[in-house]
Amino acid sequence: MRVLIVEDERPLADAVARGLRREGMAVDVAYDGDTGHEKAVVTRYDVVVLDRDLPGMSGDRLCAEIVATASTTRVIMLTASGTLADKVDGLSRGADDYLAKPFDFPELVARCRALGRRATPAVPPMLEAGDVALDPARRTVHRSERPVELTRKEFGVLEVLLAAGGAVVSSEELLERVWDENADPFTTTVRVTVMTLRKKLGEPGVIETVVGAGYRVPSAG
């Protein structure tokens, strides 16, 4: 899941970003509204965690801009204004959720995951192909009921491939969905991650390479 945090309190923004990355999310950060808008225009985010009171473009306006694009991006407003009237106003401007500061981090994670599920086509709670089963909620992978230990990036790649339902996923899309903006698009990052993922999943091979197009996990049947 790809997340953008737009928050001018740098320590808070960086702390939230670190926490969400530990949860396996690809996270970008903007410290003002204008930069947040620039990032939201060029990258398809599943969720934007948006402070309402921002330098430059306001959070309210940025929320409206995101909604106006008719994209699948979901917005959760993070703000110190926690009255009922403020929440109603924020939601009326197009936000999908609203969380007042201070907040409990596990709640933010849960809300991001819930919004992320709404930002993408509905997928089964358990992703399966053949004898491989991935549980997005518990972040576990099994093959023939044997647990497979994966890194966050390996898990993310397998999750995207399984969710594609047998369709081909390009290296560029994997890079966009699993890594953040700091990833170098000209490196072999995706290829190396797929290689180590294949080794951990074992034989017979699960991930197919489609030359010139990307990777796929054939759906069962």
What domains can you pick out in the chain, each with its CATH number?
2-119 (3.40.50.2300), 127-216 (1.10.10.10)
Q: Is 206:217 a contact under the CB 8 Å cutoff?
A: yes
Task: Determine phi and psi for 28, rounding to 5 degrees.
Answer: -110, 155
- pLDDT by residue for the chain (221 residues), tens only, comes to 889 999 999 999 999 999 999 888 889 999 999 999 999 988 889 899 999 889 999 988 999 888 888 678 899 988 776 666 777 776 777 888 888 888 899 999 999 988 887 755 555 678 889 899 998 878 899 999 899 999 989 998 999 999 888 899 998 888 888 887 777 766 788 889 999 999 999 999 999 999 889 999 997 64
Cα torsion at 61, 178, 184, 154 (round to 10°)?
160
Q: Is 75:50 a contact under the CB 8 Å cutoff?
A: yes
Task: Determine phi and psi for 171, rounding to 5 degrees.
Answer: -60, -35
**pTM recorded for the entire structure:** 0.67
Give 82's contacts (C-beta < 8 A, 6+ positions apart): 100, 101
Give 50's contacts (C-beta < 8 A, 6+ positions apart): 6, 7, 36, 59, 62, 63, 75, 76, 77, 78, 95
Residue 58: count other Cβ atoms within 10 Å of its Cβ.
14
Q: Is 31:8 a contact under the CB 8 Å cutoff?
A: yes
pLDDT of residue 175: 86
